[in-house]
Amino acid sequence: MTTPTIAFIGGGNMAASLIGGLVADGWDPDCIHVSDPDPARREHLRSSHGVHTYEDNAATAARAGIVVLAVKPQVLRSACEDIAASARQSAPLVISIVAGVREPDIRRWLGGDAAIVRTMPNTPALVQTGATGLYANPRVSAEQRDSAETVLRAVGLALWVDDEALLDAVTALSGSGPAYFFLFIEALEHAGVQLGLGAEQARLLTLQTALGAAKMALESSDTAATLRERVTSPGGTTERALAVLEDAGLRDLIGRALVAARDRARELGDKLGGA
């Protein structure tokens, strides 16, 4: 099967991660085109992945059946306006990996009835272990949905939502989620040092434990609750520690944190779309 031509508008870290994942999955680098204003960034992408790079957004988009918007939210409107004419003419699938900016605003800036998939990836995509939520507008065909999924699965898990508003929940859970785990890791490391372990000992024990727990959860058909119960012996050390966390209201605190993150995502969507 012929590899579709894909254009990345913006060549930052997330775009580079997607490009690397696509090339590793067998996507022909000769069919990947990237625009970026930074000459050093363009040279890096050319040398590391063998892709074509340009300075001009419109010329880059005109070459592709799939266009990935990968710029900062503050400049997305101008990037869309750069490629609007070519997008109306060639009608590519447009995939946005830009945080916060909603599909109706992207469609308005493109000035037509574009087929748009809006996505919410997270930073572990940079190491090909990302989790991404995807939403497709009604103009996206079944074949285009498959193409969008192929692109995002190059860097990890890709899950569809039927309502774009749910991407705010995805933002709160998996988009911001790595920071929650980093905070917990940080707290565990600090507590281990307070108990007398060396800093490097505490760090390695914490990271391996986090990795092991995630791997067990991914590879098991059991729920997290069942796995937790299985490692909690009655009257043992784990039960005592978990009781402290439960008494402190950990579950409620996490729920409140996600609501706060979701609400902030909504606020940012209103602000960014008003440009």
What percent of the chain has pLDDT above 70? 99
* DSSP helix/strand/coil, 171: helix
Angle value at C-alpha 115, between 113 and 118, nearest 5 degrees:
120
Q: Give the mean pLDDT of 14-33.
A: 95
Return d(Cα 196, Cα 155) in angstroms, integer: 39
Q: What is the pLDDT of residues 72-126, one digit of tens each?
A: 999 999 999 999 999 999 999 999 999 999 999 999 999 989 999 999 999 999 9
Give residue 136's pLDDT.
98
Return d(Cα 213, Cα 202) in angstroms, integer: 16
Type of residue numbered 114: A
Residue 225 has pLDDT above 70, yes or no: yes
* First vs last C-alpha separation in the chain: 41
Give residue 112's pLDDT.
81
Burial of 198 (0-12, 13-18, 19+ CB in 10 A): exposed
Q: Where in the chain are all domains bearing CATH 1.10.3730.10?
A: 177-267
Q: What is the pLDDT of residues 157-191, one digit of tens each?
A: 999 999 999 999 999 999 999 999 999 999 999 99
Q: What is the pLDDT of residues 122-141, one digit of tens each?
A: 999 999 999 999 999 999 99
CATH number of 6-165: 3.40.630.10, 3.30.1360.120, 3.90.650.10, 3.40.50.720? 3.40.50.720
Q: Where in the chain are all domains bearing CATH 3.40.50.720?
A: 6-165
Give residue 63's pLDDT.
85
- In this prediction the pTM is 0.93
Give the class (CATH, top level) of 177-267.
mainly alpha
Q: Give the mean pLDDT of 5-20.
A: 96
Residue 2 has pLDDT above 90, yes or no: no
pLDDT band at 274 (very low <50, low <70, confident <90, very high): confident
Inter-axis angle of helices 103-110 and 250-273, nearest 10: 20
pLDDT band at 275 (very low <50, low <70, confident <90, very high): low
Average pLDDT, the chain: 96
pLDDT band at 229 (very low <50, low <70, confident <90, very high): very high
Q: Give the mean pLDDT of 38-61.
A: 96
Angle value at C-alpha 89, between 88 and 91, nearest 5 degrees:
65
Q: What is the pLDDT of residues 195-223, one digit of tens each?
A: 999 999 999 999 999 999 999 999 999 99
